Chains A and B, each alone.
Chain A
Amino acid sequence: MAETMLYPRDWSRQPPADAPDYLSTRARSPKRPLVYLPDRALQTTGPVFNDDDLGENDWDLLTNYAAPGASANGPRILMHGRVLDENARPVPGALIECWQANAGGRYRHVNDTYLAPLDPNFCGCGRTITDDDGAYRFRTVQPGPYPWPNGPNTWRPAHIHFSVCGASFAQRLITQCYFQGDPFIPHCAIVQSIPNADAVDRLTAKLDLDATVPHDMVAYRFDIVLRGRFATYFENRPEGT
């Protein structure tokens, strides 16, 4: 049996449940400590996804909701990267779902009432499955910053929400990807709830000039790391045997 435990989650790099400057956490953060439960079933099983489950255009937010021949409004970007685990191994077959505001900072959601208009050719969601190298890509528009009710004048940096279903349910992750150099990042209570500067930097997509498509779109790179497994007890026996 080569199954080994996942590394425990390193909470020093995760935002605490109760982050006082992020007001919504006050009434929604558990007050008792989490009960440590390295759940074998959760660490070794999880939903499995097939490319057949997805539409072939799902990854392309520029066109997946657009009228025929049309495209979403705003700066065209390629958002791409890899899903790896903490042992630097690729995670193939991971379902990545993303959602975001449009270029004006408005979400296509019944509860979003921001005055920026909806884009009729953009719904702001997409999904894909990582390939054998753990690689993924989305084509989309760069989202706009938007105001949020966390104070009299508070703005979210431009961001894309990412949901990742990896190889096991204990790796389940939802996060947000920011953009290199965004001046709102140091002012955002959600970002700053992360107590580790390197962990914040890793959430910031970097301009990737090499992947930029000439005369078409700018590329950003965002790699995602899921929890990895301890090496097997028997060091002379490779994992999987």
Chain B
Amino acid sequence: MKPTRPNTKLFHETASQTAGPYVHIGLTPHATGIALYDHEAGSRVAGPQTQGERIRVHGVVWDGQGDPVRDVLIEVWQPNAAGHFAGSDTAEADFQGWGRIVSDFDTGEWRLDTIKPGAPEGQAPHLHLWIVARGINTGLHTRMYFPDEPRNADDPVLTMIDVAEHRQTLIAAHLGDGAYRFDISLQGASETVFFDV
């Protein structure tokens, strides 16, 4: 339910516009051959001092025609293995908890290297993902949960999604050895659940 408290806004949020096909220039310039910044923002979610199980997530974002979204850019936001977010005193100094992922421009395959997050506030462990690209007017928020995770059964977000097939779109497949597969569908029978956060 949306809150019904009176809103005391003085201004309105600026309208979103698509990130467009050239978003990489602005957010990940190395990916398009521009060596400008010494430290590119979002290039490493977890440094070597960060505790936790190292994982790698593979995926493709699919459009409604079954084609990979080759120009996609994804951001991840997650807590550390203890469930604490970067910026809190309890997170490791080299844990950023935030990263940017660019797909291969030819295949649309992307890959995320990170650590398995802890469980925040009684929820099941999950990665929060935000997806932008040409043709996406407002960035899309979704979550990736882990399979074989007993806490999924009580997770308040998973349990509020009534349709089992929809719920399933948020759960990655385990490929073994710390590797997972998480494909995202923008449309169609397997359309991923997206959130208004």
The interface on chain A, measured as residues whose beta carbon lies within 8 A of the other chain's beta carbons, has a size of: 88
* A residues with CB within 8 A of B: 5, 7-11, 13-17, 19, 22, 24-32, 34-43, 45-49, 53-55, 58, 64-65, 84-88, 95, 97-99, 107-112, 123-125, 127, 161, 163, 169-170, 172-176, 190-191, 193-194, 196, 198-200, 202-203, 224-228, 230-231
- A97-B195 in contact (CB<8A): no
- A97-B13 in contact (CB<8A): no
Instruction: Write the chain B residue with the least CB distance to A196.
Output: B15
**Interface residue? B116 (CB, 8 A):** no
- B12-A86 in contact (CB<8A): yes
**Interface residue? B171 (CB, 8 A):** no
Please give, as numbers and ranges, the residues of chain B lying within 8 Å of A26 by CB-CB distance.
64, 135
* B residues with CB within 8 A of A: 1-3, 5, 7-27, 29, 32-34, 36-39, 41-42, 63-65, 67, 69, 71, 75, 77, 79, 85-88, 96-98, 105, 120-121, 128, 130, 132-141, 157, 160-161, 166, 186-187, 191-197
Query: Please, how many angstroms separate the alpha-carbon atoms of A58 and B37 in the complex?
Result: 8
CB-based A-B contact count at 8 angstroms: 261
Dominant secondary structure of chain B at its interface with chain A? loop
Please give, as numbers and ranges, the residues of chain A lying within 8 Å of B195 by CB-CB distance.
34-37, 39
CB A126 to nearest CB in B, in angstroms, measures: 8
- A25-B135 in contact (CB<8A): yes
- A87-B8 in contact (CB<8A): yes
